Amino acid sequence: MSTQPSLDASSKVSPFWLQWLIATGLGWSISNWVPSLILFKLINFFHLDTFNGPSVNTMTLAFLRGLFVGTIIGGFQYLVVRKMIDRGKSWILSNSISWAFAYMAGSWANWTVFQSSPTSRDIEIFAYGTELTVIGICVSISLAFLQWSLVKRNVTNSVKWFSISIAAWSAPLIAYAVLQLALGISINNGFRGITVTKLNLIVNLFNCLSIITHQSIGITAGAIISRAFDSKLKNM
């Protein structure tokens, strides 16, 4: 008889969904702020041109950033699932691999879109939106399959598991990409003829909205995937 704890949400400690929400949300926030600061310093230090093609340097930076993001998110999630699934440490590895290659794919997609019309006023916005979309799709599909190997013995419906898992990261990242596209185009083209003071106020408001929605990506993803866990994993 298994002695592993159950994923029952009525646990006396804390509901699984709440632990998972906090772990994923914190993991996303921390993993994005820290590598962003490091990345910008590396770009400036090595004088890298991130739009000069998917070179070894830029792809390596994308890989390292994704690796860091995946390791941090996976590490926080591991604290929640380590006693609930077999090979819990593989959860960190699956996140690290998935996010690293997703960021590489996203970086390549960004450059490809940018090069399609480098002189366009809004091309950087479209390129960034494409990068986020590719990252979301790639990491979601990769995690769904890699983590399936860790939970498949306790999943009651594989179709729903893959559906929810794929939606977990792709949906909020794509939604954020659409928001960034809308805000960027609005700033570039929708506020002509207004004073500089009013324009700066609008830009600041948009930046605040952008920061809030970006930080909510992890919480949203955690909320979605927690439903998969609560309803798919049997008591052990």
Tell me: the pLDDT tens digits for 121-176? 788 889 889 999 999 999 999 999 998 888 776 667 778 889 999 999 999 999 99
Burial of 196 (0-12, 13-18, 19+ CB in 10 A): exposed
* Residue 6 binned pLDDT confidence (cut-offs 50, 70, 90): very low
* Region of residue 155 (left: phi > 0; alpha: psi -120 to 50; beta: else): beta
pLDDT at 209 over 90: no
| Averaged pLDDT for residues 103-126 | 86
H or E element that contains 22: helix 16-46
Lowest mean pLDDT among 11-20, 83-92, 110-119, 174-183: 11-20
- Residue 232 confidence (pLDDT): 43
pLDDT at 7 exceeding the cut of 70: no
For residues 16 and 123, what is the distance between their CA atoms, to the nearest angstrom? Answer: 42
CB–CB of 58/110 below 8 Å? no
Exposure string of 159-178, with b = 16+ CB inside 10 Å and e = fewer, is: eebbebbbbbbbbbbbbbbe
Place of tokens 């006693």: 83
In the DSSP assignment, the letter for residue 157 is: -
Residue of higher predicted confidence among 87 and 219: 219
- pLDDT confidence of residue 123: 85
Q: Which residues contact 114 (CB under 8 A, 6 or more apart)?
A: 51, 123, 124, 127
CA angle centred on 204, ends 137 and 211, rounded to 5°:
30
Compute the distance between CA of residue 5 and CA of residue 152 in angstroms, rounded to an integer: 17
Taken in order 227, 169, 148, 60, the sign of the CA dihedral is negative
What does the angle CA 4 – CA 8 – CA 12 come to, to the nearest 5 degrees? 90
- Single out the residue of 123, 131, 137 nearest to residue 104, CA to CA: 131
| Residues 49-103: tens digit of each pLDDT | 554 555 666 788 888 889 999 999 999 999 988 877 777 789 999 999 999 999 9
